Structure 1
Amino acid sequence: MQRKSFDSMPCPIARGLERVGEWWSILIMRDALRGTTRFDDFQTGLGIAPNMLSRRLATLVEAGLLEKRLYSEKPPRFEYLPTECGRDFRPVLQTLLAWGNRHFAPDGPGAVIVNTETGEVADPVLVDRRTGRPLSDPVFRTVRGEAARAARAKETP
């Protein structure tokens, strides 16, 4: 059964899922953003089959989240480094971590975000960069963007 592609949808969530919507991809990005760069280290840390890891890394490179760099010529070995796009995925992971701790950690958090200067545990919240207000504030809501409005206008005769 062939998977449906979300790439042509105007929804940014659907387009994002096209790049990272498979659980291995999200875990690879988690590890890459923590400093893992080499194939063997990803494989050992995740316990993922080599063929699956190869496919996921290739997909993340193609999607522009990771950059593949040669670090050894004999034999050829590559490292995988987060691109700017990949580094911009960090807040998504931090939000997922906070949500998972809040709702699916009956024995306590498996990981937390800490302030390295004070050692205090952070309580992540998404905020509007311009106002500093939490996006959970009722003044914020999601509305169709320009691309979605244009696509909808094409559908309506």
Structure 2
Amino acid sequence: MASRMRLEDRECPLSTTVQHVGEWWTLLILHDAFDGYTRFDQFQESLGISSSMLTVRLKTLVADGLLERRPYQTNPVRHEYVLTELGRSLRPVIVALAAWGNARLAPEERSMILVHRATGEEVEPVVIDAKTGDRLDDSDAYVFTAGPAAGDAMRARYLSTTTGP
């Protein structure tokens, strides 16, 4: 009988990413952090999350290197949670998720939109290839394939992806 593979044992980058940001509260906390929230009470008020759940999620985000915990007051000691460079690198992912959600709504049904700060004009985020500028939409022109560190199972999975099924 084959043993069931645990998420953390998979070599797939999607699996490792989900370990860090795949939890509902994590994405919402990161979204609030991108909006400038740094303090426990700000996150709690914004999200309506229990203090115990928020404590756990913030500790995990700090342990994963996405947020940095640093004191902002000494007596009593109080801490704020600030995005790290690694945490800030997730902004395009959060933007893409929000854009995907908005694309399924009529414009008048959208409660939040992305705009250019200077012009106030609404923008339509897309994912592109940095080399060519081509959109990586639902086209089948772009496929995953095994990378240099792929193990045998990953190589077998993607044996024919660049040449077609």
Classify the TM-score, shorter chain. Answer: 0.7 to 0.9
* Residue in 1 that maps onto 2:123: 122
Distance in 1 separating the partners of 2:49 and 2:146: 38
Distance in 2 separating the partners of 1:25 and 1:70: 21
* Residue in 1 that maps onto 2:36: 35
Alignment of 1:44-59 (within 5 A): 44-59=45-60
Q: TM-score, normalised by structure 2?
A: 0.83
Deviation at 1:105, TM superposition (A): 6.0
Q: Is the 8 A contact 1:25 1:56 kept in 2?
A: yes
Taking structure 1 as reference, are residues 87 and 151 closer, same or farther at Cα in structure 2, changes over 3 Å only?
A: farther
* Structure 1 unmatched runs, 5+: none
Report the count of equivalent residues: 151
Tell me the amino acid that sits aligned with residue 126 of structure 1: V
Q: TM-score, normalised by structure 1?
A: 0.87
Taking structure 1 as reference, are residues 67 and 151 closer, same or farther at Cα in structure 2, changes over 3 Å only?
A: farther
User: Does 12-21 or 52-61 show the bigger shift?
Assistant: 12-21
Is 1:81 aligned with 2:72?
A: no
Give the match's secondary structure for 1:119.
coil
Alignment of 1:8-157 (within 5 A): 8-103=9-104, 108-136=109-137, 137-147=139-149, 149-152=150-153
* Structure 2 unmatched runs, 5+: 157-165
Q: Deviations over 1:78-137 (max 9, x none)?
A: 000011110011011101101111125685211111112222110111001111111125
User: Does 12-21 or 129-138 show the bigger shift?
Assistant: 129-138
Taking structure 1 as reference, are residues 153 and 50 closer, same or farther at Cα in structure 2, changes over 3 Å only?
A: closer
RMSD: 2.2
Distance in 1 separating the partners of 2:152 and 2:82: 35
Taking structure 1 as reference, are residues 76 and 99 closer, same or farther at Cα in structure 2, changes over 3 Å only?
A: same
Bigger Rg, structure 1 or 2: 2
Deviation at 1:23, TM superposition (A): 0.3
Distance in 2 separating the partners of 1:57 and 1:32: 11
